[in-house]
Amino acid sequence: MKNKTNLYVSLFILIIVVAFVLLQQTKSDHKYTASEKPKIVNLKLRQYVSGVLIPEREVKIKSQISGILNKLYHKAGDTIHTGDLIAEISILPNPQNIEIAEKTLKTCQINHEKCEKEFKRYKELYAKEVIAEQEFDKYRESYLISQEEMSSAKKQLQIIQKGYSQSQQNIPNFIRSTVSGTVLDIPLKEGASVTERNNYNEGSTIANIADLQNLIFKAKVSESDVAYLKKGMAFEIGISALKNKKLKATLSHITPKAVEENGMMKFEIEAKVENHPDIQLYPGFSAVAEIVLDKRDSVLTIKERNLIFKKDSLFVELLNENNKKSKRLVKTGLSDGLRIEITEGLSLGDRVKVQTN
């Protein structure tokens, strides 16, 4: 009786061991025979590029004279039109220059009075035919020249004192807009010093004006991506400040020369952003462009991680009905980072072993 009991116990233990071994073998077979079948899909090679929105045209309004910013007529955010008054400049006259101009004017006035008396006297003599016309013309010419010199001296004194002469149509100390658009910035405040624009100095900026209806997306792309880009190609940009709202953009410019940035060669690109009636865009908005660099329609693909790299060749492991493995050489095409195009070596019915490494 005792022997039978021992026999039953031994058989029970043996059954448990065999079942455990078979279970482990099943798990092991499943682990190493996981597979995928090639699929026909549309592949797109996308590149995401960060950039910023800037005005297509931004104009800096400068002053033609130096002085003090006396009054501002607009502030940042105002809509402005060509010819609108922006600011008024009060000049600080140089006392020495004023003294010289006043002296010049006084001299011209004395000379003019002298020439005027001579002109009137010889005019009477000419009328009585006492002198010849040629001699009279000499005094008339001197009178006209003295008149012009005095007028010029008056204008010069007015310019030194006020920054302009009364005969000028466009008074230079009244700063007017040369374009229509939106005032982006007024760098100076009332009472600040203003430097004139000349050949040696770009001068103080009174206002920055831009057309907010014409913005461009500006970014930099790597040298490996620029070969795929062409002027006129369209893509979408997501605006971060607008919860990644998508807008269309058209590539308008690619710089012909790269610049080094953090050890990499970068090319600057610009794209015209399409206006949307319900969206207000502002310069400085950050944006991310989704650019389709290349694409393939209806191509045979597998997961890229299932490729085996060996020297200069690519292989996959195929499984037959009995899960036996065999290597096959394949040729590849476009990859989107997850799936890769198989141009030679596979068909739809093949079972490709999943690589776990």
Map out the domains of the chain with their CATH numbers: 48-55+212-295 (2.40.30.170), 58-91+173-210 (2.40.50.100), 95-162 (1.10.287.470)
> Average pLDDT, stretch 227-237?
92
Helices (H), the chain: 2-32, 95-127, 133-162, 223-226
Higher pLDDT, 154 or 92: 154
pLDDT for the residue numbered 6: 61
pLDDT for residue 211 is more than 70: yes
pLDDT for the residue numbered 4: 57
Residue percentage of the chain with pLDDT more than 90: 50
pTM over 0.75, yes/no: no
pLDDT for the residue numbered 135: 86
pLDDT for residue 13 is more than 80: no
pLDDT for the residue numbered 155: 81
Question: In this structure, are residues 290 and 238 in contact, taking their beta carbons and an 8 Å threshold?
Answer: yes
pLDDT for the residue numbered 184: 93
What residues have CB less than 8 Å from 347, skipping those under 6 apart? 38, 300
pLDDT for the residue numbered 67: 85
Low-confidence winner among 90-94, 126-130, 227-231 (lowest mean pLDDT): 90-94
Low-confidence winner among 63-72, 153-162, 255-264, 344-353 (lowest mean pLDDT): 153-162
- For the stretch 233-258, what's the b/e string if a residue is b when 16 or more beta carbons lie within 10 angstroms of its beta carbon? eebebbbeeeeeeebebebeeeeeeb
pLDDT for the residue numbered 29: 47
Residue percentage of the chain with pLDDT more than 70: 87
What are 27-41's pLDDT values in tens digits?
A: 544 445 688 999 999
**Scanning the structure block, which residue is given the tokens 């009137």?**
120
